[in-house]
Amino acid sequence: MSTTVHAGSTERLLTPGEVAALFRVDPKTVTRWASAGRIGSIRTPGGHRRFRESEVRSMLADLTSEATLPPARP
Amino acid sequence: MSTTVHAGSTERLLTPGEVAALFRVDPKTVTRWASAGRIGSIRTPGGHRRFRESEVRSMLADLTSEATLPPARP
DNA sequence: GATCACTAGGGTAATTAGGGTC
DNA sequence: CTTGTCCTAATTACCCTAGTGA
């Protein structure tokens, strides 16, 4: 089947180990995220998982979103 | 110059426990710093926090220059 | 065809988050 | 006002063996 895999697939896929290194977690944890549906995953014919780099980077963009810097007073 | 954050994915991350060990405080205290916006943090999909090593080192450097600087001698 | 690194899967400890209190 | 400690629930880390990927 020649599907339209040519257009938007310039997307780089990351392995569980690579994603784990970016988040500073164990590769098994990344697998658990995929099983829980917290992160999109693509399975190889053999059952291994691959993750979209753009999606992973979007999650990492959550920098300093804890507090909304209140008016600093001296 | 200031630290630019546009390529931050290659940044090494530290766990709350590691940061706590560096500052000699309780991990709970590190969590409070993050909640107060005193330190930047990245959240894993599971809700756990990760901290940038470079930022932590900068804060540690500030502590060193706080009172450990004797009169500079020529 | 054979080798090596990585991954899936399950099960059990260790960390962390969150609130409340001193 | 900041820190340390109490609790419970959730998330994560490390153990193993077999299969997949390159």
Collect all residues with Cβ–Cβ distance below 8 Å to B73 and sequence separation of at least 6. Answer: none
Domain count, chain A: 1
The pair of structure tokens assigned to A16 is 């569980």
**Does A69 map to a domain?**
no
The CATH number for B29's domain is: 1.10.1660.10
- The tens place of each residue's pLDDT in chain A, 74 residues long, gives 444 444 555 689 999 999 999 999 999 999 999 999 999 999 999 999 999 999 999 998 766 655 554 443 34
Closest in B8, B36, B45 to A59, CB measured: B45
Full residue range of the structural domain in which residue B16 is found: 11-62
| Within B 30-59, residues with CB less than 7 Å from strand C | 30-31, 34-35, 47-49
Residues facing residue B43 across a β-bridge:
B49
* B contacts of A38 (beta carbons < 8 Å): 45-46
Amino acid at B59: M
pTM of the model: 0.79
**Does A50 map to a domain?**
yes
Which segments of chain A does DSSP mark as H helices, in order? 16-23, 27-35, 53-60
